[in-house]
Amino acid sequence: MRFELPTTAVLRDLASGVAYSQLQIKQQMALWQELLLGYGAQRIALAANSSAQWALLDLACLDANLLLVPLPTYLSESQCAHVMAQLEPDVYITDQEQLSSEFTLLEQVGDLLLYRRELKSSGAAIPSTCQKITFTSGSTGQPKGVCLSAQSQFDVAFSLLERINQNAPKHLCLLPLSTLLENIAGIYAPLLAGGEVLIAPDSLRGFNGSQLSNPQALLSLISGTTPKSLILVPELLQLLVMARAQGWQAPASLEFIAVGGAHVSAALLQQAARLGLPVYQGYGLSECASVVALSAVDARQSCASELELVGLPLAHRDIEIINGEIVVKQPFLGYLGDAESASDKVFTGDLGELDAQGRLRILGRRKNLLISSLGRNISPEWPEALLTQSGLIRQAVLVGDAQPYCAALLYVADTKALAQVPAYLAQVNQQLPDYAQIKAYQLLTQPLSVADGTLTANGRPRRAEVFKKYQSEINNLFVSNHVIGESYEFLSNAG
């Protein structure tokens, strides 16, 4: 192994009940490596539910420096087709039977099916030092493949060990393992600390795709497994806070709750602190192999102004602020299919500042990117273009930053066509992955215009002015969000 796991390291599959000791982890990794090398695997794509075998395969590839591409299971069909065309994997591993003639079944390991895939082209060029490609959720219609070296992943894992400093942690993975944050901070770091990692499939975690559909299942899992640590996106933290306020008792074992992936309000952190939850705020991005900064103390020990900070950069990080933008000084291999994106610095697109102690404060984003409270990136221009392409909807402005779902302000010029809007939205949503679908809308009685300052001269919405003018209406689009993951009907309001 390129790194040696302590003898106390354990990987536990909660669906099967099977626990792998340190020795068994090494044996399983060796079996995966022998299998993959025997088939001459060059580009391995993995699209499967979270399981211990998922983690063992990932560890095996990391250890042998085999290129692995974990794919989120929530990608739409068109996004998957785009990824396959760019990547052209020769080996495809999944827990779903593939009936297409381009796949030939080679082996089955546990629930994972290993297929040889017929190549249609050579695929996009990949940097020689790239070991993993992680796909973002896609701020535009197509996800970006972020190329990462094995070393960059190790650097983050070891820096997290130093910052968190937990002895033999017991970590419960709540985010999908294809999420880079859970992959590195939830598997590598706890195992390297000699801890136990608990892995559960979507059903046990209460998830359906990228949406939490059964919050009670998630709470029961946390209570029943008594973990020491969790990693959450803001929406899951909100769930824990709401449940705690209604009488749910967090297990006494819980010592560390990391929250990141999207903006976390100081009000939510204060509420969590009052309820006794040990929450540590962090900041990172895929281009930096996940975590960039992490608080050293939890929200319970922080004053109000400190709750706006995401902590000190990790030990191996070097951050500077250039023209107000957070820039991480580290090599970036670039995006799949875009060799020119490689750089010795990562310009994050986030605005920020460092306080006198070197702690990072996030001030906003340079671009219009929305980040949902579930950590999904959405460029508003993408759904807006779909909404207005038929002419039924004249103007559309997507909203939903730091919210669990997307909503929209819509202007329909022909009032006789208003009855067609719900059916048309359903049609548009079929073209979008679930995290970018429009779950609620507000009909405007007047169009956006240059005259009232809500429209630019070339017809683009001036978002800050739109949000300011329609703040009350926008707030109302999200007031029904009391239980995340519920099946929302279109929440329509005539302006």
Read off the pLDDT of each residue in 354-363 and give the average, rounded to a whole number. Answer: 93
DSSP string, 437-494: SEEEEEE-SS---TTTTSB-TTS-B-HHHHHHHTHHHHHHTTTT-SSTT--PPPEEEE
Kindly report the CA angle at 285 between 242 and 314, in degrees rounded to 5? 90
Q: Assign a CATH topology to domain 10-365.
A: Rossmann fold (3.40.50)
- Specify whether the CB–CB gap between 355 and 361 falls below 8 A: yes
Res 485: pLDDT: 35
Residue 484: pLDDT band with limits 50, 70, 90: very low
Residue 137: pLDDT band with limits 50, 70, 90: low
DSSP string, 137-160: --SSSSPPEEEE-HHHHHHHHHHH
Res 487: pLDDT: 34
How many Cα atoms occupy the beta-carbon half-sphere of 419 within 13 Å? 1
Written as six digits, the tokens of 226 are: 């008594």
- Specify whether the CB–CB gap between 234 and 263 falls below 8 A: yes
Give per-residue pLDDT as tens, 85-127: 999 999 999 999 999 999 999 999 999 999 999 999 999 999 9
- By CB atoms closer than 10 A (0-12, 13-18, 19+), residue 467 is middle
Angle between helices 22-38 and 52-64 (to 10 degrees): 70
Residue where the block lists tokens 């792998």: 20
Written as six digits, the tokens of 281 are: 């705020």
Mean pLDDT of the chain: 91
Intervals of CATH 3.40.50.12780 along the chain = 10-365
Phi-psi region of 289 (alpha: psi -120 to 50; beta: other; left: phi over 0): left
Give per-residue pLDDT as tens, 32-73: 999 999 999 999 999 999 999 999 999 999 999 999 999 988
Distances (CA, A) of 394 to 93, 96, 356, 368: 44, 41, 49, 21
Res 483: pLDDT: 33
Give per-residue pLDDT as tens, 1-15: 466 899 999 999 999
Distances (CA, A) of 387 to 60, 430, 431: 44, 12, 11
Intervals of CATH 3.30.300.30 along the chain = 380-494
Kindly report the CA angle at 164 between 19 and 330, in degrees rounded to 5? 105
Measured between alpha carbons, how far is 301 from 279 in angstroms, rounded to an integer? 10
- By CB atoms closer than 10 A (0-12, 13-18, 19+), residue 402 is middle
- Specify whether the CB–CB gap between 74 and 210 falls below 8 A: yes
Res 439: pLDDT: 94
| CATH class of domain segment(s) 380-494 | alpha beta
Angle between helices 381-388 and 421-429 (to 10 degrees): 130
Q: Enter the DSSP assignment of 269.
A: H
Distances (CA, A) of 4 to 19, 22, 188: 19, 9, 11
